[in-house]
Amino acid sequence: MSDPRIELRIEGHVARLTLRRPEKLNAVDEDMVDALLRACRTIERSDARVAILSGEGGRSFCAGGDIEAWSSLDADTFSRRWLRDGHGAFDALARLTVPLIAVLNGHALGGGLELAACADLRIAEAHVKIGQPEAGLGIIPGWSGTQRASRRFGTQLVRRMALFGEVYSAKQAFALGLVDQVVATGEGGAAAEAAAARVLKRSPRATELTKMLINAAEHEESERVVEALAGAVAAASEDLTEGLAAYRQKRPARFDR
């Protein structure tokens, strides 16, 4: 990893991805966006079968996009680079072929909630606050805070946070379905490791395929899922074996078995 503020460690079958910018509440700037995307590619090419995402320090899981980084951008650069690149990184996280567990060991506000929404499981520590304050700054939830968040949490809940400024405690977030588990402060990491251990007891191929199908049901990546599954069937077929043999032998393929 070229950005020290994004730490990726892969040990055995577990990838641990940590935002390491506690002095800025783990806010994300352009270089960190690029590093997140690279981290996803590394995870996909590794032997990892589950990933854990957390933020360093106990104050903030992620404060979202770094205001100092995006507030100086002109409107065209903001929309064409900042929002687009952020979407690319967050999409890559949401579409990891392995289950992603988010440890909300600090507040998840704005882009931090959008980051947490990429995960398959969200574990919140008891002191955490969750919300979408963007409209108070004159900006929108721009990294799928209206789209993916609505698919995963429900449109009415997103309305309450994004339009009316409601901020929830960890206990409230659990009752509303924003998080899947609440643990005592300081115990999020252990809970995530326990969840990861459960994943590792299950079939890796079946888990990957099941996640792809769930994503397709959410319209997260329907086109890729359909083509990937169809491609896997084709790749395992006798037709491909014959087609490649014919190509290498410079003869017409015979599919008339």
pLDDT digits (tens, 9 = 90+) for 161-191: 999 999 999 999 999 999 999 999 999 999 9
Q: Are residues 72 and 108 in the same domain?
A: yes
Q: What is the model's pTM?
A: 0.89
Catalytic pick from 7, 23, 30, 114? 114
pLDDT in tens, 196-207: 999 999 999 999
Q: Are residues 188 and 208 in the same domain?
A: no
Provide the domain limits for residue 155: 6-200
Residue 254 lies in a domain: no
Catalytic annotation present for 23: no
Q: Are residues 133 and 219 in the same domain?
A: no
Contact 108, 61 (CB under 8 A): yes
Which CATH number characterizes residue 139's domain?
3.90.226.10
Q: What is the largest CA-CA distance in the chain?
A: 68
The helix/strand/coil state of 140 is coil
Residue 23 lies in a domain: yes
Residue 1 lies in a domain: no
Q: Are residues 218 and 194 in the same domain?
A: no
Residue 130 lies in a domain: yes
Catalytic pick from 134, 208, 223, 242? 134
Residue 106 lies in a domain: yes
Cα separation values, 22 from 62, 82, 100, Å: 9, 22, 22
Q: Are residues 114 and 131 in the same domain?
A: yes
The whole-angstrom separation of Cα 111 and Cα 43 is: 22
Where residue 2 falls among pLDDT bands split at 50, 70, 90? low
Q: Are residues 112 and 213 in the same domain?
A: no
Catalytic annotation present for 242: no
Q: Are residues 172 and 221 in the same domain?
A: no
